[in-house]
Amino acid sequence: MDNIVKNDQLIVKRYVVGPLAVNAYIIGCVATKEAFIVDPAGSETMLRDEASSLGLSIKAIVNTHGHPDHTSGNEKMKALTGAHCYMHKDDDELFRSPDAVMMFRSWGFEPFPPADKFLDPSSKFKTGMLVFQVIHTPGHSPGSICLYGHGIVITGDTLFVGAVGRADLPGGNFETLMNSIKNNLLSLPDDTVVLPGHDYGDAPVSTIKKEKETNPYILQYCY
């Protein structure tokens, strides 16, 4: 567990979970004690109990995209908390198709349940008094999204510390991915804290400024 951010608005806790070491996040509203879970991909009971120990009530589950290493805990987390699951409709539809289900089962993952609500990039995602902009960042997958607000951006597998997401899985496209990063993420304030979906870099988190200056993919493909 990492205590990434705690200020007068929000609490952010990071947990590495699941067989592919996904970064799951608990994002809590200080004022209302309502929270949401990002990408519960294992250790669901622990995540629920951690939220409870912080005095937080889980109201939503958010998937940054539909790959099974990020969605495998949805069903159990819903059962534990009664929370609704949010995802972009493009990934909800693509990755519950028969072909995708067959592929994911070959990887050892069961299909995830349908999303309860879709994340619309023209709208805001709200929990308690926290408000996040939904940013559609296709490329790693068609329905990849990032959440930006309160000084942080949750990037899933779109942007890592010193790297970017792979684009060789079904629905992936490298040019689309880099355009998403260039057009939708690099314009965020430099001091925005980047919270990626895996700890692949030299630190668990970064900033937009650091990635602009040091990320080799950004330096090569975005300027």
pLDDT the model gives residue 109: 86
Distance CA 95, CA 83 (A): 21
pLDDT the model gives residue 5: 63
pLDDT tens-digit profile, the chain (223 residues):
455 666 788 999 999 999 999 999 999 999 999 999 999 988 999 999 999 999 999 999 999 999 989 999 999 999 999 999 999 999 998 888 888 888 888 888 888 889 999 998 888 999 999 999 999 999 999 999 999 999 999 999 999 999 999 999 888 999 999 999 999 999 999 999 999 999 999 999 999 999 999 999 999 999 8
Query: For 60, which DSSP code?
Result: E
Four-way CATH pick for 2-221: 3.60.15.10, 3.40.50.720, 3.20.20.70, 3.40.50.300: 3.60.15.10
Decide: 38 and 62 in contact? Cβ < 8 Å.
Answer: yes
Provide the greatest CA pair distance for the chain: 46
pLDDT the model gives residue 1: 46
**Cβ–Cβ contacts within 10 Å for residue 131, how many?**
13
- Those residues whose C-beta lies under 8 Å from the C-beta of residue 1, and which sit 6 or more positions away, are 13, 14, 15, 50
- Give strand pairing partners of 2: 14
Residue whose C-alpha is closest to residue 142's, from 64, 201, 213, 90: 90
Query: For 216, which DSSP code?
Result: H
Distance CA 48, CA 51 (A): 5
Decide: 103 and 170 in contact? Cβ < 8 Å.
Answer: yes
pLDDT tens digits, one per residue of 74-117:
999 999 999 999 999 999 988 888 888 888 888 888 888 899 99
The H or E element containing residue 44 is helix 44-53
Decide: 4 and 26 in contact? Cβ < 8 Å.
Answer: no
Domain extents for the chain?
A: 2-221
